[in-house]
Protein backbone atom coordinates (compact mmCIF):
# COMPACT_ATOMS: atom_id res chain seq x y z
CA UNK A 1 0.00 0.00 0.00
CA UNK A 2 2.40 2.66 1.13
CA UNK A 3 4.86 3.94 -1.40
CA UNK A 4 8.58 3.92 -1.03
CA UNK A 5 10.13 7.24 -0.06
CA UNK A 6 11.89 7.37 -3.42
CA UNK A 7 8.60 7.09 -5.27
CA UNK A 8 7.23 10.33 -3.87
CA UNK A 9 6.89 13.08 -6.45
CA UNK A 10 9.72 15.59 -6.29
CA UNK A 11 8.10 18.52 -8.03
CA UNK A 12 4.72 20.20 -7.87
CA UNK A 13 4.16 19.23 -11.51
CA UNK A 14 4.56 15.58 -10.56
CA UNK A 15 2.05 16.04 -7.74
CA UNK A 16 -0.35 17.75 -10.14
CA UNK A 17 -0.44 14.62 -12.29
CA UNK A 18 -1.05 12.35 -9.34
CA UNK A 19 -3.79 14.37 -7.62
CA UNK A 20 -7.15 15.68 -8.76
CA UNK A 21 -7.33 19.48 -9.19
CA UNK A 22 -9.20 19.87 -5.88
CA UNK A 23 -6.83 17.53 -4.04
CA UNK A 24 -3.89 19.48 -5.44
CA UNK A 25 -5.38 22.79 -4.34
CA UNK A 26 -5.80 21.65 -0.75
CA UNK A 27 -2.83 19.31 -0.29
CA UNK A 28 -0.15 21.19 -2.22
CA UNK A 29 -1.43 24.77 -2.10
CA UNK A 30 -2.75 24.73 1.47
CA UNK A 31 -6.33 25.27 0.39
CA UNK A 32 -9.36 24.62 2.56
CA UNK A 33 -12.48 22.74 1.56
CA UNK A 34 -15.78 24.39 2.43
CA UNK A 35 -17.15 23.34 5.86
CA UNK A 36 -19.69 20.51 5.96
CA UNK A 37 -18.82 19.47 2.40
CA UNK A 38 -16.13 16.88 3.08
CA UNK A 39 -16.90 13.19 2.88
CA UNK A 40 -15.59 12.39 6.38
CA UNK A 41 -17.22 15.13 8.49
CA UNK A 42 -19.60 12.73 10.24
CA UNK A 43 -17.90 9.41 9.53
CA UNK A 44 -17.75 6.98 12.46
CA UNK A 45 -16.40 3.95 10.59
CA UNK A 46 -13.52 2.22 12.43
CA UNK A 47 -10.20 2.18 10.62
CA UNK A 48 -7.23 4.38 9.99
CA UNK A 49 -7.04 7.64 8.07
CA UNK A 50 -4.13 7.90 5.65
CA UNK A 51 -2.61 10.85 3.84
CA UNK A 52 -4.36 11.05 0.47
CA UNK A 53 -1.19 12.23 -1.20
CA UNK A 54 1.33 9.61 -0.05
CA UNK A 55 -0.65 6.96 1.86
CA UNK A 56 1.12 7.41 5.22
CA UNK A 57 -1.02 6.49 8.23
CA UNK A 58 -2.00 9.64 10.12
CA UNK A 59 -5.02 9.22 12.41
CA UNK A 60 -6.62 6.13 13.98
CA UNK A 61 -10.42 6.45 13.80
CA UNK A 62 -10.67 6.32 17.61
CA UNK A 63 -9.05 9.79 17.80
CA UNK A 64 -11.89 11.28 15.73
CA UNK A 65 -14.57 13.21 17.59
CA UNK A 66 -17.58 15.43 16.88
CA UNK A 67 -16.44 19.04 17.01
CA UNK A 68 -19.39 20.44 15.01
CA UNK A 69 -16.95 22.71 13.20
CA UNK A 70 -17.68 21.30 9.74
CA UNK A 71 -14.43 19.42 9.19
CA UNK A 72 -13.19 16.04 10.43
CA UNK A 73 -11.57 16.55 13.84
CA UNK A 74 -9.04 14.39 15.65
CA UNK A 75 -7.55 14.87 19.13
CA UNK A 76 -4.28 13.08 18.38
CA UNK A 77 -2.18 11.78 15.50
CA UNK A 78 0.01 8.74 15.13
CA UNK A 79 3.32 9.78 16.75
CA UNK A 80 5.60 11.46 14.23
CA UNK A 81 3.07 11.31 11.39
CA UNK A 82 2.09 14.98 11.44
CA UNK A 83 4.28 18.07 11.68
CA UNK A 84 3.30 21.52 12.82
CA UNK A 85 4.21 24.84 11.20
CA UNK A 86 3.38 28.34 12.41
CA UNK A 87 1.03 30.00 9.94
CA UNK A 88 0.43 33.75 9.99
CA UNK A 89 -1.64 33.93 6.82
CA UNK A 90 -5.10 35.55 6.71
CA UNK A 91 -4.16 37.84 9.62
CA UNK A 92 -4.34 35.03 12.16
CA UNK A 93 -1.73 33.11 14.07
CA UNK A 94 -2.55 29.48 13.53
CA UNK A 95 -0.62 26.25 13.47
CA UNK A 96 -0.70 24.45 10.15
CA UNK A 97 -0.44 20.67 10.12
CA UNK A 98 1.22 18.76 7.30
CA UNK A 99 1.97 15.15 6.56
CA UNK A 100 5.46 14.56 7.97
CA UNK A 101 6.30 12.21 5.12
CA UNK A 102 5.30 14.13 1.99
CA UNK A 103 4.81 17.67 3.34
CA UNK A 104 1.24 17.92 2.10
CA UNK A 105 -1.20 20.27 3.83
CA UNK A 106 -3.77 18.63 6.12
CA UNK A 107 -5.39 21.50 8.02
CA UNK A 108 -4.72 23.30 11.31
CA UNK A 109 -4.34 22.27 14.94
CA UNK A 110 -6.00 24.11 17.83
CA UNK A 111 -5.41 23.64 21.55
CA UNK A 112 -7.18 24.74 24.71
CA UNK A 113 -10.73 24.42 23.38
CA UNK A 114 -11.69 21.68 25.84
CA UNK A 115 -13.38 19.34 23.36
CA UNK A 116 -11.67 16.20 24.67
CA UNK A 117 -9.36 15.29 27.59
CA UNK A 118 -6.40 15.77 25.23
CA UNK A 119 -7.59 19.35 24.64
CA UNK A 120 -6.38 19.26 21.05
CA UNK A 121 -8.27 19.52 17.77
CA UNK A 122 -6.64 18.54 14.51
CA UNK A 123 -9.01 20.19 12.03
CA UNK A 124 -8.38 18.25 8.82
CA UNK A 125 -9.74 18.56 5.29
CA UNK A 126 -11.55 15.38 4.22
CA UNK A 127 -9.90 15.67 0.85
CA UNK A 128 -6.45 15.50 2.50
CA UNK A 129 -7.10 12.06 3.97
CA UNK A 130 -8.55 8.71 2.99
CA UNK A 131 -10.15 6.24 5.37
CA UNK A 132 -8.96 2.68 5.26
CA UNK A 133 -11.77 0.78 7.02
CA UNK A 134 -10.77 -1.83 9.59
CA UNK A 135 -10.96 -5.46 8.46
CA UNK A 136 -14.14 -7.28 9.40
Among 54, 99, 102, 123, the one annotated catalytic: 123
Residue 123 a catalytic site member: yes
Whether 5 and 82 have beta carbons less than 8 Å apart is answered as no
Total chain residues near Zn ion (CB under 5 A): 8
Count Cβ atoms below 10 Å from residue 27 Cβ, excluding itself. Answer: 28
Smallest gap from Cβ 60 to Zn ion, in A, equals: 16
Q: Is residue 101 part of the contact set for Zn ion (CB under 5 A)? A: yes
Between the CA of residue 8 and those of 4, 53, 66, 103, what are the distances in Å?
7, 9, 33, 11
Q: How far apart are CA 128 and CA 84, in angstroms?
A: 15
x/- site string to Zn ion, residues 44 to 73, per CB under 5 A? -------x-xx-x-----------------
Smallest gap from Cβ 136 to Zn ion, in A, equals: 27
Q: Would you name the residues annotated as active-site residues?
A: 123
Amino acid sequence: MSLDENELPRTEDEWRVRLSPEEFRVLREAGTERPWTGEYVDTKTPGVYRCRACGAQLYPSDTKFDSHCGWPSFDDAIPGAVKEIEDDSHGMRRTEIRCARCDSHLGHVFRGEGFTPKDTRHCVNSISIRLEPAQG
